[in-house]
Amino acid sequence: MNEIKGGVIAPKGYKATGGAVGIKQGIKDMAILVSDVPATAVGAFTTNVVKATSVLRNMDIMKQKQNIKGIVINSGNANACTGVEGEKANQQMAETLAECLNVPSEQILTASTGVIGATFPIEKVKNGIHMLFPNIGDTLEHGHMAAESIMTTDTYSKEVAVELKIGGKNVTIGGMAKGSGMIHPNMATMLSFITSDVNIKRELLDDILQESIQTTYNMVSVDGDTSTNDTIVVLANGMAGNTEITEKNADYEAFKKALHFINTKLAKDLVRDGEGATKFIEVNVTGAKTIQDAKMIAKSVITSNLVKTAMYGEDANWGRVLCAMGYSGIKFDTTKVDIIYHSAKGSIDLMIQGSPIVFDEEKATEILHEKEIIVEIKIQEGTEKATAWGCDLSHEYVSINGDYRS
Amino acid sequence: MNEIKGGVIAPKGYKATGGAVGIKQGIKDMAILVSDVPATAVGAFTTNVVKATSVLRNMDIMKQKQNIKGIVINSGNANACTGVEGEKANQQMAETLAECLNVPSEQILTASTGVIGATFPIEKVKNGIHMLFPNIGDTLEHGHMAAESIMTTDTYSKEVAVELKIGGKNVTIGGMAKGSGMIHPNMATMLSFITSDVNIKRELLDDILQESIQTTYNMVSVDGDTSTNDTIVVLANGMAGNTEITEKNADYEAFKKALHFINTKLAKDLVRDGEGATKFIEVNVTGAKTIQDAKMIAKSVITSNLVKTAMYGEDANWGRVLCAMGYSGIKFDTTKVDIIYHSAKGSIDLMIQGSPIVFDEEKATEILHEKEIIVEIKIQEGTEKATAWGCDLSHEYVSINGDYRS
């Protein structure tokens, strides 16, 4: 498997574009993604009881096992909590792209991100689709335009692509995603679109995705809020020409590994660019009784506002880490806990076997001054482990979210 | 029942003092509270798996049903995660006050608040007790000194007292508490000390406290973090001279109501003075299927960083409220939701029966510019209700917590 340039347009048979259609006044706010042939599609969606109309429609289409020709995505308006009018508008959004492609609207997925509850500007969206559709293409630039157009408060676009050999054929996977607030375990506001030219049975693709999200998108947190619009979709159009993967063999494992790499990269990028984030934080928990225990502890630490502000302040306040472990709901023996911080500048033991270690504050400050910090937590309850990713909580986060809607 | 001046010294037979003993360099950091006669004592403590040594010791003493002569409290160091040395130091802290009072150390409770994991300055604490003990007294000023001395990042001290008639006798209840970060449902960093001269059976006092905390201290949130040191203690020394309350009669109900008033007042004060808080927010949920459902929804909204930053920004972004309701884990019909904001400047409907209401932004801004905001949420799943209290999330919160330890 090699990482290559590009995003969603990297695999064979995909075209994309993006641009400004007036939802956000001069800022790129719409992307279109098209597959030359109807693609097998699987997805995962927000666990929030309140689901955007696009999410409900996409879930329904997935249930019908429709193959997918295109996806239209807008930023600037979430089309969530917009009632029957919003539902109609969402259907029209799909129909407009369907008309351009001359396919049934069931072959079109939609996704929206932005403010909740505001009237959806369907006329701008319809005009936008007509305006942008003629521009679709498969160059790096086309993929990049799409990735940029799904951003909200993201500061950079997230793209990734890999290629691998399956049955002697080149198979490619590409992806684009957006954050960057409301990112929290259980599919928080993130949109992630993955394309591949692999030929694979729908059920197997779904298995891979559902397993992969457990340790990728579901293990990142920006602010603990779970959005109404989270959507991850994987398309597989079979144009690589490999023999269809129909069982869990070596080809399956190779593809699974590659897709997981894509998801991991995108998930980590989401929190690296979390709203106002100045630091990327990885929490590794080992020695837990169960994977679930390890996850609960890791998530509790990565979500703690007090841990996050301490990281922002570059303060080795490991007591807050232990405290957050303690309210995770998981039982552990506090006399057997190790807490170690790592960065490119080295490592520092803060607690070993439940005893605080007298540490060199200067060294700690040097380590915490880095942009990427790893919090290593060892307990001695078992052999399971988990990793969560997050970011610090900064003044900028408050500024962004105190004045986001207006 | 009348609210009267004073705090813990208001009931008969209590003395207190407070002052600076050098833990926090010139800032008041120790309080002592003494009952003239051993008092019946009940308590509630943090649910965090990681418990400060004082919490573990107090829980043990409560289990033994010891009567209590005194409590010594320090701020500036939590004596949590400090191992065997910390445990010894905590015991010495109790013994020092016990010696001053010439009672067994089992009649002394301790409480600490401050940094987790730092070596406990036991010599300063012992010297401090000897220094402050001679100053104890029962004037308003003595109570006030104690209340001020348990503060950490609190901006003002929290005191309250009421008196009521029980069996023809004047019974008084007083209290003091401190916040102000790490305040979250399930007894987060809060210390609350309640005194009364009532004569009541221990089991009944305990029943009252355990019921009362469910709708007071457990329904407030500053930042979602649950501390290692949360402690609430109620002392009842019987000096009012009322016939002992031994059953759930009218006297019991009257006292229960008064103690609940005290707890409600202190709990609300804790979040009103949350770290960096500029606004006090009350979330009322009605129409839930169960009380637990109502509580979960209310807590989810009050804990949402996105709701809190929107409040800070005075932005009527009700979509974030609905979103937080949606990820509370409770099922409800989104087409039957009402969301209404209230303040001293009036009320504004934002969502009625699941439909967004076009509202006057100017009016909304005027309402949200107030210091106390009520978020009213109606669902139509049943008849149960709950109230949660919290505060906004400000730049100042980040400043305080990015640089708290140092």
Helix pair angle (A202-214, A250-272), 10° resolution: 40
Q: What is the model's pLDDT at position B42?
A: 98
* Structure confidence by residue, pLDDT tens digits, B4-43: 999 999 999 999 999 999 998 889 999 999 999 999 999 9
Q: State the DSSP H helix or E strand holding residue A36, giving kind and residue range, or none if neither.
A: strand A30-45
- Which residues, other chains included, contact A386 with Cβ-Cβ below 8 Å and sequence gap of 6+? A215, A219, A284, A285, A288, A291, A294, A295, A297, A298
Residue B154 structure tokens: 């609190």
d(C-alpha A69, C-alpha A57), whole Å: 15
Q: Which of A153, A226, A401, A404 to mutate to test the interface with B (most CBs of B within 10 A)?
A: A401
pLDDT of residue B179: 77
- Kind and range of the H or E run holding B161: strand B158-166
Q: How far is B72 from chain A (nearest CA, A)?
A: 23
Question: Residue B329 has what pLDDT?
Answer: 85
Q: What is the DSSP letter of B405?
A: -
Residue of A nearest to B320 (CA): A116
Mind listing the pLDDT tens digit for each residue in A161-173? Answer: 999 999 999 999 9
Cross-chain Cβ contact B404/A313 below 8 Å? yes
Q: How far apart are CA B213 and CA B205, in angstroms?
A: 12
- Disruptive mutation site among B45, B49, B85 for chain A (greatest number of A CBs within 10 Å): B49
Angle, helices B305-312 vs B291-303, to 10°: value is: 60
DSSP H helices in B134-219: 140-149, 202-214
Residue B230: predicted pLDDT: 86
Query: Quick one: which H or E segment has residue A293?
Result: helix A291-303
Contact (CB, 8 A) for A229 and A112: yes
The confidence score (pLDDT) of residue B233 equals: 97
| Residue in the structure block whose two tokens are 């809607």 | A405
Beta carbons of B181 and A306 less than 8 Å apart: yes
Distance from CA of A381 to the nearest CA of B (A): 14
State the Cα–Cα distance between residues B322 and B320, nearest whole angstrom.
Answer: 5
Encoded tokens for A355: 């005893």
Using the predicted structure, report yes or no on whether residue B189 has a pLDDT greater than 80: no
Task: Give the minimum alpha-carbon distance from B23 to chain A in angstroms, rounded to a whole number.
Answer: 18
Measured over all CA atoms, what is the biggest interatomic distance in chain B, rounded to whole angstroms? Answer: 69
User: Residue A395's closest chain B neighbor by CA?
Assistant: B395
Other CB atoms within 10 A of residue B168 CB: 8
Active site annotation includes A189: yes
Contact B356 A83 (CB under 8 A): yes
What mean pLDDT comes out for the span A331-355?
Answer: 93
Q: Taking residues A281-290, report their average pLDDT.
A: 96
pLDDT at residue A286 greater than cutoff 60: yes
Q: What is the mean pLDDT of residues A86-92?
A: 97
> What is this model's ipTM?
0.71
Asked if residue B186 has pLDDT above 70, the reply is: no
d(CA B209, CA B229): 18
CA distance A159 to A178: 9
Q: Identify the burial level of B342 via C-beta atoms within 10 angstroms of its C-beta, where 0-12 means exposed, 13-18 middle and 19 or more buried.
A: middle
What's the pLDDT band for A225 if we cut at 50, 70, 90? low
At residue A59, the pLDDT reads 97
When pLDDT is averaged across residues B83-104 and rounded to a whole number, the result is: 96
Between chain A and chain B, the number of residue pairs with CB atoms below 8 A apart is 211
pLDDT reading at B339 higher than 60: yes
- State which of A117-121, A147-151, B376-380 shows the largest mean pLDDT: B376-380
State phi, psi for B300 to the nearest 5 degrees: -65, -40
Going across the sheet that includes A346-352, the strands are A220-221, A384-391, A280-288, A372-378, A338-343, A346-352, A355-356
Q: Encoding tokens for residue A183?
A: 């990112």
pLDDT at residue B396, rounded to an integer:
74
Give which of A404, A399, A6 is closest to B399, Cα–Cα. A399
Mean pLDDT (chain B) is 91
What is the Cα–Cα distance from A27 to A145, expressed in whole angstroms? 12
3-class SS string, A266-292? HHHHHHHCCCCCCCEEEEEEEEECCHH
Nearest to A386 by CA among A295, A323, A268: A295
Beta bridge partners, A376, equal: A284, A340
Q: Which amino acid is at B144?
A: H
Say yes or no to pLDDT of B116 above 50. yes
CB A206 within 8 A of CB A38: no
DSSP structural state of residue A116: S
Handedness of CA B148, B122, B233, B102 (dihedral sign): negative
For residues A64 and A58, give the distance between their C-alpha atoms in angstroms, rounded to a whole number.
10
Q: What is the mean pLDDT of residues A91-118?
A: 95
Look up residue A66 and give its DSSP letter.
-
Choice between A327 and B102, residue whose per-residue pLDDT is larger: B102
What is the model's pLDDT at position B395? 78
CA proximity to B271, closest of B392, B399, B146, B369: B392
Contact status, residue A377 vs residue A251, Cβ threshold 8 Å: no
